[in-house]
Amino acid sequence: MPRLRHLPPAPNQLQHRSDNQQKDEREMTTAPDEPADDAPGPDDQPFIEANSRAKSRYGRFNLAIVGGTGVGKSSLVNAVFGRDLAKVGKGLPVTRGVHYYHDESLGIWDLEGFEIGSRDAPADVLREHLKTISDRSAVEQISVVWYCVLSHADRLTKPDIDMIRELHAAGLPVIVVLTKVDWTKSPITGKRTAPLDTEEFRRWLENPVDDKHPIDVPIQRVILTSVRDRQGKGKGHGLGELVTETLALSPENEKDAFRIAQRLNLPWKREMARPVIAAAASAAAAAAAVPVPVADAAILAPIQLTMMGRIAAIYDLELKAMLSAGALAQICVQITGQALARSFLKLIPGAGSVVGAGVAFALTAATGEGWLRLCEQVHTGKLDPDKISDSWGQYAPTFLEVIRKMTEKRIAKP
């Protein structure tokens, strides 16, 4: 059977500058062509095109989840990715025992676990499932496997071990996820600990033995998780470790896709977005290398809209679908190019009535930071997408922010 993918090495730390990020910087530093004199005002087309290109470049992250009924697969997906497993885009069965759910940024292969009473050997069934998946398109291939087991089990069954071996033979990294851990919180330290039998199970998984003889169970990581506390509330525990280890085991060219699909680690998204902002600010400065009158400051709009489209893709936002008709275009008019320049030029000492490189750089950098904050609010559910156009004033760059960006640029010069 052809392998789905070679097992990637597990790096010990994040790659701070991915190939995609460096490509973003190179592309952004080339400013768009200046519009003709009779061109209409800013519209949403640069935003939409940049957003679409970014999504295509980052691609889709595909995760396989193996586990029987009641193990908590759907809750786990919802906790990490903010999506109901049964509502992740299209979810038609691929074959008996295999479902593939996906949207633009995330694909979930839901593989049934071993069920008592099955006539076929679980490893044989799984092998056929993996062969079916390997014949699918490249965009649907599995990156990492979460093998879900209830935490109160004390051993893996032989069928479990056989299936993990099949996954490993296919070149797939396997994380055993112990679900529904009943954590206990210390009233003194506040630290949460798992029950003794669960910890013993974890130790066995990390060094499996049978009658004091080692067993070959090719597990890459063992993570203890819960999606809710004892009262059925809260955000759960162990999920941050799960996403960190999943990223570490992901193929290098799919790490950014995972950073985008997951919903728990905002700093990862900021690390991806800030080089986009820096590249756009540099492109804006280049476009205004020869100072332009404020009336012509609309040349900055395509650069800024391209930046905003890329940042929206990083935060996995479908703003074109979220916003009411015309709202995105209206935002584009309000927060880019000429409108911002007119607002700030009269306040900036020595600026006069023209936009120079320093002002263009500062306006674009401050706009990017404001847009990043807004996207985070929508991404985390703290801001209703329908209220974006009414709320932009809270995130728009202030005079002091623009001055600070100008100062930072001057200090950064050699």
178-231 residue pLDDT tens: 999 998 887 777 788 899 999 999 999 999 988 788 999 999 999 999 987 555
Strand order across the 221-224 sheet = 93-95, 98-102, 106-112, 61-67, 144-150, 174-179, 221-224
Q: What b-and-e string marks burial along 131-149, b requiring 16 or more CB atoms within 10 Å of the CB?
A: eebbebeeebbbbbbbbbb
Mean per-residue pLDDT, 319-342: 61
Sign of the CA dihedral running 234, 236, 241, 247? negative
- Phi–psi pair at 122, nearest 5 degrees: -55, -40
204: left (phi over 0), alpha (psi -120 to 50) or beta: alpha
Tokens of 280: 């756009």
* Cβ–Cβ under 8 Å, residues 90 and 102: yes
Is residue 6 pLDDT above 50, yes or no?
no
User: Is 253 or 391 the better-scoring residue by pLDDT?
Assistant: 253
User: Is 210 or 35 the better-scoring residue by pLDDT?
Assistant: 210
**What pLDDT score does 274 carry?**
95
Mean pLDDT of the chain: 79
Give pTM, 2 decimals.
0.81
Instruction: Tell me whether strands 213-214 and 209-210 are parallel, antiparallel or unpaired.
Output: antiparallel
Number of neighbours of residue 350 by Cβ within 10 angstroms: 6
- Phi–psi pair at 334, nearest 5 degrees: -70, -35
Instruction: Tell me whether strands 93-95 and 98-102 are parallel, antiparallel or unpaired.
Output: antiparallel
**What pLDDT score does 31 carry?**
39
User: For 77-133, how does the pLDDT look when each residue is reduced to its tens digit (9 = 90+)?
Assistant: 999 998 876 655 555 556 677 889 998 899 999 987 665 556 778 889 899 999 999
SS3 61: strand
The residue length of the chain stands at: 414
The percent helix, strand, coil of the chain (3-state, each to 5) is 50, 15, 35
Percent of the chain with pLDDT over 90: 41
